[in-house]
Amino acid sequence: MLDMSTVESYRPLLMTLAYRMLGSLSEAEDIVQDALVDYTMTVDRSSIRHEKAYLVRMVTNRSLKLKQSARKRHEFYVGQWLPEPAIADDEFGRAASPLGSATAESGNPANYIERQENITYMMLVMLERLNAVERAVFLLRETLDFDYGEIADIVQKSEANCRKIFSRAKEKLLGSTGEDGGAEAIDPMRLNEEQAWAFAKAFMQAAETGNSSALVDMLAHDAVFVIDGGGKARAAINPIEGSERIAAFFISNVRKGTLGDSLLPVDVSGQPGFIVSQNGQPTMVMVFGWDSEKKISRIFIILNPDKLKNVTKQFS
């Protein structure tokens, strides 16, 4: 007899994998739900020795197919494409614990995403450099710590080939080869929570008061600011580069009142960020990343309303 509680216990792991493969909560939720339904209703489980590995294979294969087709869709995407923000919710509007106390009735798929320090939002953006198979191999190794034999079985390639794919993926992300240093080496800056929030709030306060010199001082000289409007919200088509240009953008938009009237601190896939609201309705999610000098090196803003549906549902 099938133990549904055991099968359901794999949902957070499968959601984590699918979301990191696709960068979309809604697509990840659909894939995981379909996989679990197929497994419980149609799969002959008599010959399955390792349930977890089988389910991971199902979700990986579905994610690979969708990711490969998504790349073609991204070619026609208006402006910059960013991953959908995954924000778990608790009674304080902050990120919940890794598995939290989420239930299926909570309606927020982000509650199922495991918060692991080695895969942050910045890392999700960087993963777009990889093709679908490279991304799958990298995530199976980094996120699930599968050995190469297991990964080879899942992606249907030789173990030696998987080792090469993993090395090639890291080279694209890090610019070096070899097996040492995973996601932490690629995205090295880790601030403790208190320090991260202090920096993020200081940045926004400087923008609100028009303190241009303070903003420039907090930004890396070669900082990059990316906005995802998806053609459905007014946004810069190309990234804004350089500390002075980014500072000018924030001060100008604060003066125009286009950065909302309230900020709610939230954890966005392991990085500090804000839900920005106007008249009680979330209008954007803002995420910060730092370099090794503790300067803000990346700012991401998600404006595309399609990617804010879960945020709007949970926080409006």
Q: 27-31, 55-59, 149-153, 260-264: lowest mean pLDDT where? A: 260-264
Q: What was the pLDDT predicted at 11? A: 92
- Give the pLDDT confidence score for residue 187 in this predicted structure: 53
Tell me the pLDDT band of 3, cut-offs 50, 70 and 90: low
Do residue 54 and residue 172 come from a single domain? yes
Specify the pLDDT at position 197: 79
Are 224 and 140 part of one and the same domain?
no
Same domain, 62 and 168: yes
Report the domain count for the chain: 2
Same domain, 207 and 152: no
CATH of the domain at 145: 1.20.140.160
**Residue 231: inside a domain, yes or no?**
yes
The CATH number that applies at residue 209 is 3.10.450.50
- pLDDT tens digit sequence for 177-235: 444 455 554 554 556 667 777 888 899 999 999 999 999 999 999 999 999 999 888 88
234: region left, alpha or beta (phi > 0 left; psi from -120 to 50 alpha): beta
Residue range 128-167, pLDDT digits in tens: 999 999 999 999 998 888 999 999 999 999 999 999 999 9
39 Cα distance to chain centroid: 27
Q: Is residue 95 part of a domain?
A: no
Query: Does 12 lie in the same domain as 72?
Result: yes
Most confident of 1-15, 36-50, 194-208: 194-208
In a domain, 272, yes or no: yes
Q: Are residues 205 and 180 in the same domain?
A: no
- What angle separates helix 11-22 from helix 25-41, to the nearest 10 degrees? 140
In the chain, the percentage of residues whose pLDDT exceeds 70 is 84
State whether 173 and 308 are in the same domain: no
- Of 140, 168, 186, the last residue of a domain is 186
Tokens of 27: 């697509």
The pLDDT of residue 59: 96
Same domain (yes/no): 175, 200: no
Least Cα distance to 29 among 119, 122, 111 occurs for: 111
pLDDT per position as a tens digit, 277-289 = 988 899 999 999 8
Final residue before a domain boundary, out of 186, 207, 238 = 186
Domain enclosing residue 297, as ranges: 193-315
Give the model's pLDDT for residue 103: 35
- pLDDT of res. 7: 79
pLDDT tier, 96 (very low <50, low <70, confident <90, very high otherwise): very low
User: What mean pLDDT value characterizes the chain?
Assistant: 84
Per the model's pLDDT, the better-predicted residue between 63 and 232 turns out to be: 63
Asked if residue 270 has pLDDT above 90, the reply is: no
Dist. CA 33–CA 37, nearest whole Å: 6
Pair 202, 161 in one domain: no
